[in-house]
Amino acid sequence: MSQSNLLSEEQSVLLDVGGMKCGGCVRSVEQTLLQQSGVLTASVNLVARTAWIAIKDPDQPLEPILQALSDRGFPAQLRKATQLDNSEDSDPESLSEWWSQWRQLMVAISLLIFSVLGHLAEGGKIDIPLLGLLPFHAALATVALFGPGLKILVSGARAGIALTPTMDTLVGLGVSSAYLASLVALIWPSVGWPCFFNEPVMLLGFVLLGRFLEERARYRTGRALKQLAKLQPERARLIVDKGVIREIRVGALRPGEKIQLLAGDRIPVDGVVLQGNSAVDVSSLTGEPLPLEASPGSELASGTLNLEATLVMEVKRVGAETALSRIISLVEQAQARKAPIQGLADRVAGSFCYGVVTLAICTFMFWWQLGARWWPQALNASGQGFFHAHALHGSLGTSAETPLGLALQLSIAVLVVACPCALGLATPTVITVATGQAARHGWLFRGGDVIERAANISQIVFDKTGTLTLGRPLVSNLLATEDKELMLVLAASLEQNSRHPLAHAVLQEAQRLKLPLVSSLAVRTFPGAGVAGELEGVEGTIRVGTPEWLKAEGVQWDKKINDEINQESLDGKSLVGVAQESIFLGFVSIEDRLRPDASFALDRLKEQGVSMFIFSGDRREAVERLGTLLGFESKQLGWQLLPDQKLQKLESLRQDGALAMVGDGINDAPALASADLGIAVGTGTQIAQESADLILLGDRLESVPEALRLASRAMNKVRQNLAWAFGYNLIALPIAAGALLPGYGLLLSPPIASLLMAFSSITVVVNALSLRKP
């Protein structure tokens, strides 16, 4: 069942959360949030660094919640719904953050260079005696540990004390263990331990390098949303008194003011055109390939592009109320809502660090007390490693000479090779990329759970009017006894003050043919039948309405006309008759035309193996005619259905598989909310869009199969990422613990282990980014 309306009595809040590094951090943040009074649900996105929470009382203060997160080492703040600001300083990829990440990269590379030079100096490869001295390596390790590594140590210790260990806890345990063991060996050489000062340096170097690459890849996953935000210009041309133009900030605009739009300008806010005619490119929001022909009365959305001529527009909505802001807000909330498939990874990641620490302790005890005795050759095999060993200062995992030294190096390798990051990133990276890509095409998924449901859809029910058809009745034929244009002029002149859709179709046809209308003197409306009145300069009463009403008013026509009327009715068209007094003038044939891409969209869905149905409140003839035209069988059609009847038929279909409902009107809202996936076309009513899980902006029905295909591809990527994340840890951890050391003499040294850990995280992010390719 659709979840979009379940929080109607609650308040949804989006928080920006810092300090998260891995799946353990996600679990810790979620547990902290759920422990707070009034918080009903919480969903955290590691990639977007956001938390989406539902609180019971909309007036509940958020300060205690934010403080609780900050106390756990996760500084948080409320994501404010304010005017979009795409300036450089407001972008998450701001100048200060950019230089901070590059400093981290420079520090990582420097640490690795010093480590390599130290090894080369030890082996006599280069003649720099200072680099080969043990005190130099001790000093370098101290600087690395309490310089760039201090943040990792503090974060890891804080998480460990709170009993919510994270990736920083594992790395901190690994580097601090190596440093302390080396310090003991340096101060008391008699213990016979090898010095590991070089290893904290290399471990931190690889960890920082991996995190830099991971951050760069993560930034690319959210690029689509940033590009959407940049669609809004920063300045607008305000029209003040006497037509004077003033350039002001977009944030200073207010509803009711008038702005000038030059050719090539982005529309800064939502508004209505007052003057001018131009083509407007709406593809950035809706994916529509053809431009919108804007004229007085046309509504324009922020972020679209004026192509041809100058327009004057009245401001209607600004700030967070604009279409562009609402789209970005929907995408941000969608990225924070998890897919159910992520639940297993989160549960594993939450306990993962406990398991890794336990495995590291067991590895240490086993190789210290038993392993080295059972397989004494393991001590010799450990010398064939990453770097050449030299004296007591060797490479960790390559120069163990005692059971205690071997046990220590293998347990540290276990700590640093483990990768809860990959588990935490497997799903949210894909959801972030998928929702961003969808938004660029005008498809708005309301969350990761919606994407997962969309990927499983096997049946789709379409509404007819406004979904498969344009929803705008148009004149298809004129049946006149004599003068067609005169008949149309009289009908349109009488109907020009009516709001009925059929009256609008008649008036639109007269305008298309550029026919001059005459003024009406007195018009009387007969509900459900038609209108009657007098026109200036025209003798007698003019009647425009249904054939049945005209007959009741004494209007007659011959058999030939009657046969044509019957045929038009069989074809599912609506007929509007026109008469002057009792003289029949003709009929206007009106139909709601099929969307141009309807057949193509349905063919694509058939290729995807989706079963389709049409449920409509329209009369039987119209539904059957449309069904025949689109290749539907009679059992796939439903007509003259009220909203509750649509619900009953939906329930009967759900036993055959996951069901989606596509609609656009108020009578579709209950069905959209009831279906497994509610899909609303963007031109539909607001209530229909609020009831839907997936909103398709624009008039392209082919967006339905394309959006479902994107959801299916996204879930395939999620499964691939989860398989990699679980598989990597299941294979790497036993090898790091020495499983291949007795039989094959193979082991993972901690530097290689840390590099693999970083590679594992980067792999899932890069795999998610491949979703951007068609």
Q: Which residues 6+ apart lie within 8 Å of 32 measured at CB?
A: 68, 69, 72, 74
- DSSP bridge partners of 522: 534
3-state secondary structure of 470: coil
Backbone angles phi, psi at 621, to 5 degrees: -60, -45
**Is 463 marked active-site?**
yes
How is residue 688 annotated by DSSP? H
- DSSP bridge partners of 661: 461, 678
Strands annotated E in 443-507: 443-445, 459-462, 474-480
Classify residue 279 as exposed, middle or buried by CB count within 10 Å of its CB (0-12, 13-18, 19+).
middle
Measure the CA–CA gap between 143 and 129, rounded to whole angstroms. 20
Measure the CA–CA gap between 351 and 251, rounded to whole angstroms. 47
What are the angstrom distances between the C-alpha of 214 and each of 218, 221, 421, 437, 761? 6, 11, 10, 20, 7
| Contact present, 364 and 407 (Cβ < 8 Å) | yes
What are the angstrom distances between the C-alpha of 466 and each of 2, 265, 500, 523, 640? 22, 31, 16, 30, 16
The encoded tokens of residue 83 equal 């005017």
Looking at residue 203, its amino acid is: L
Measure the CA–CA gap between 429 and 652, rounded to whole angstroms. 37
| Contact present, 564 and 589 (Cβ < 8 Å) | no
Looking at residue 563, its amino acid is: D
Looking at residue 761, its amino acid is: S
The encoded tokens of residue 178 equal 């190596």
Measure the CA–CA gap between 206 and 430, rounded to whole angstroms. 25
Q: Please identify which of the residues 463, 664, 668, 693 carries the catalytic annotation.
A: 463
- Listed as own residue / partner, the contacts of 692-695 with beta carbons closer than 8 Å and 24 or more positions apart are 692/2, 692/4, 692/446, 693/2, 693/3, 693/4, 693/445, 693/446, 693/447, 693/450, 693/453, 693/454, 694/443, 694/444, 694/445, 694/446, 694/450, 694/454, 695/330, 695/443, 695/444, 695/446
| Cβ atoms within 10 Å of 18's Cβ, excluding its own | 12
Edge-to-edge order in the sheet of strand 659-663: 443-445, 694-696, 677-681, 659-663, 459-462, 611-615, 637-638
Measure the CA–CA gap between 181 and 141, rounded to whole angstroms. 12
- DSSP bridge partners of 15: 51, 78
| Contact present, 494 and 533 (Cβ < 8 Å) | yes
Active site residues: 463
